[in-house]
A = this chain, B = another copy of it.
Amino acid sequence: MLTLLLLGFQSHAQNGDEMQLKRIYDAALTDGKAYDWLNHLSNQIGGRLSGSLEAQRAVEYTKVQLESLQLDRVWLQPVMVPKWVRGTPEFAYMETSPGITSTVPIRALGGSVATPLGGLKANVIEVKGIEDLRALGENKIGGKIVFFNRPMDPTKISTFEAYSGAVDQRYSGAEEAAKFGAIGVIVRSLNLRLDDFPHTGSMSYGDTAEGDRIPAAAISTNAAEMLSTTLKLNPETKFYFKQHCKQFDDVQSYNVIGEIKGSTHPDEIIVVGGHLDSWDLGDGAHDDGAGCVQSMEVLRLLKLSGYIPKRTIRAVLFMNEENGLRGATEYAVKAKANNENHIFALESDAGGFAPRGFSFESSDTHLKRVHGWKPLFKPYQIHLFEKGHSGADIAPLKNGDNVLAGLRPDSQRYFVHHHAANDTFEHVNKRELELGAAAMASLVYLFDKYGVEPAATLGN
């Protein structure tokens, strides 16, 4: 009899959850605001590189929009951010023999130094990765431009895995090549498609002294194929590039935060977020305008669906994920200083594509609990509930007790647009964006309703 009662209770709860998810999804798909917000961020504001006017306008715009949702509190959290400016024009060509040149689509990597004013011209040595440098040595590399040309692995089904397998060339290529006397670095764009878009992204000089830093840039995948073929035909082919990028002093910026205060457990905080900054080449619609508007939409959908959160739910639009993580760091520092208890955090930073599921950083016990919710998501074609990376901005919030998660949209098209001039609004599908927001709101609802037990009580 007790069992029956419990079953009855469970099925009642399950039923209530089903209905709540349906309300969330219906609201997202019939009365969504995420797409309009993204339109504004993308088309009226544009690329939002940290320290830019656009980034500041995005701070102001999203603050006003969050205020319009009648939350309990909306505020800006100050943070100093790096300001790197691309400068124009950027220009490159390959020269097979004196005067015979082909223009190459090129864009400086974020954080790179400029070339000399007149540009840089040298012979090219092609490598498949950083690991090739030592074998070649200073003898073969000195005075040359190193061309990193290891493609992303097309056999990886998750394109993020393919990205992880190739991104070291972009991030550390210049630092490593300089050790062997290289005078510049060009990197094959991290794009699985052959096309003409160079894809920028962050790079680091590590502890290379300022005077020893060499300029680094990305060339398009088509150009990389062309250059590689050309070098086989004529190893004496020269490469020329010119860029005027510059690092300025840090400037003031902000995380944008909106919050619904918890009705019964206000001290337990749930964060849902994306990053407000983007690279400067496109308008940052997928990376990560989508994650920002979806996070804002989560608060809105919970309100629209008539749900009163028990816990405090915050949308956090982090500043400077792309080239510094200053916003994420500052948010975590302040959270710690204020002794805030973040029980769950969810980030969307993998594009506004049709959602497939979530990846979780958590104990196995917590993950098992989350797996129990999987059937609730089946009608919405959400099927991935896996251990894995959550998100760069929420990672600093990790502790032994809480759960971090990342939205996992379909990844096939992401790197077509990532950090390139074609990361633009028209490549975001309204329904796909909305389904992502609804999936996020559903997961936030479940974590809010059922909470997260500290590891100690779970004996984990």
A interface, CB within 8 angstroms of B: 25-26, 29-30, 154-155, 157, 159, 192-193, 354, 356, 379-381, 383-384, 410, 412-413, 416, 429-432, 435
Interface core residue of A383, A384, A431, A435 (most chain B CB under 10 Å): A431
A407 → B minimal CB distance (Å)? 15
Are B431 and A154 touching (Cβ within 8 A)? yes
Are B413 and A157 touching (Cβ within 8 A)? no
A55 → B minimal CB distance (Å)? 30
Are B30 and A155 touching (Cβ within 8 A)? yes
**Residues from chain B with Cβ under 8 Å of A431 in the complex:** 154, 159, 192-193, 412-413
A181 → B minimal CB distance (Å)? 35
**Residues from chain B with Cβ under 8 Å of A192 in the complex:** 431
Contact status of A193 and B381, CB under 8 A, knowing A30-B154, A435-B412: no
Are A29 and B155 touching (Cβ within 8 A)? yes
Contact status of A379 and B157, CB under 8 A, knowing A429-B412, A431-B192: yes
**Residues from chain B with Cβ under 8 Å of A159 in the complex:** 431
**Residues from chain B with Cβ under 8 Å of A435 in the complex:** 157, 412
State A157–B435 Cα separation when bound (angstroms). Answer: 9
**Residues from chain B with Cβ under 8 Å of A429 in the complex:** 412-413, 416
A440 → B minimal CB distance (Å)? 16
Q: Rank and list the top 4 A-B pairs by shortest CB-CB distance, nearest first.
A: A383-B383, A29-B154, A412-B431, A26-B155
Q: Told that A25-B157, A30-B155, A159-B431 touch, could you supply 5 new A-B pairs with CB distance under 8 A?
A: A25-B155, A29-B155, A30-B154, A157-B380, A413-B429
Find the B residue at minimum CB distance from A431.
B412
Contact among B25, B26, B154, B354 for A410, CB-based, below 8 A: B354
